[in-house]
Amino acid sequence: MELLREKIEKEGQVLSDTVLKVDSFLNHQIDPMLMKEIGEEFANRFSDQVITKVLTIESSGIAPATFLGLTIGAPVVFARKRKSLTLTDNLYTSSVHSFTKNETNEISVSKKFLSADDNVVIIDDFLANGEALKGLMDIVNQAGATVVGAGIVIEKGFQLGGQLMRDQGLRIESLANIKSLANGKVEFFD
Ligand code: G4P
């Protein structure tokens, strides 16, 4: 996706060989025009599937997931990382360890919003080690729903998550796939 690549090249800051800061359009400030195109691109990529629900994880997955939901007319559910005051029981839960942040989050989704009839696309902003994807897949499996694939805004292809999940048979559609962040430079896979 050309517009996304340009945005990464122009505004992305390489913080280290493994971390890319994109807070001017994805992780803090959100560019709604870009998000709209991202939602439409995900919809195109999954146009061969009937999707009944879009599933993501708070917080940065919510914007791209919502624009996909808007484009295809499907509801969007986000897994919560923090305990909610009103969301107390009847939950699917899973554990997500972040190697990047060195913390583990218990994630949860109300059983009200996912069922065995659902065909789910999982959306997230970054794919690094695949831990968030694994946790979300676990939740979909607990619900007995079907995962039709995962849509990722930025995959860090030099980390192992994408390979690992594809090897398990998951269809992954990445809108930008980064080959390297070495020497302060973003290099993409073609
Ligand atoms: P994984 O799910 O693929 O295993 O990823 P990892 O544990 O490495 O990532 C944990 C958090 O760090 C996620 O955000 C993920 O989006 C973010 N992250 C990973 N790599 C990068 C990167 O290169 N740049 C940026 N900006 N973020 C990265 P999170 O904790 O869920 O935060 P948020 O969604 O609330 O923003």
Distance of CA 168 to the CA centre of its chain: 17
In the structure, what pLDDT confidence band is assigned to residue 87 with cuts at 50, 70 and 90?
A: low
* Mean pLDDT in residue range 75-92: 85
In this predicted structure, what is the pLDDT of residue 82?
A: 80
Number of H helices, E strands in the chain: 5, 10
| Model pLDDT for residues 14-73, shown as the tens digit of each residue | 999 999 999 999 999 999 999 999 999 999 999 999 999 999 999 999 999 999 999 999
Minimum-distance ligand 1 atom for the alpha carbon of 125: 16
Q: What is the pLDDT of residue 129?
A: 96
With CA atoms as reference, report the closest residue to 123 among 174, 166, 50, 73: 174
Cβ atoms of 163 and 129 within 8 Å: the answer is: no
As beta bridge partners, residue 82 has none
Gap from CA of 48 to ligand 1 centroid (Å): 29
Write phi, then psi, for 114 (nearest 5 degrees).
-140, 130
**Closest residue by CA, ligand 1 atom 16:** 126
Q: Which residue has the tokens 């831990």?
A: 131
pLDDT digits (tens, 9 = 90+) for 133-188: 999 999 999 999 999 999 999 999 999 999 999 999 999 999 999 999 999 999 99
Rounded mean pLDDT of 101-125?
96
Domains along the chain?
Answer: 34-178 (3.40.50.2020)
For residues 162 and 172, the answer to whether their CB atoms sit within 8 Å is yes
Instruction: Express as a percent the part of the chain with pLDDT over 90.
Output: 93
Distance CA 121, CA 84 (A): 24
Mean pLDDT computed over 96-107: 90
Give the closest residue to 40 by CA, choosing from 73, 12, 78, 10.
Answer: 73
How much is the mean pLDDT over the chain?
96
Q: Does 95 contact ligand 1 (Cβ within 6 A)? A: no
Taking 80 as the threshold, does the pLDDT of residue 89 lie above it? Answer: no
Q: Is the pLDDT of residue 83 over 80?
A: no
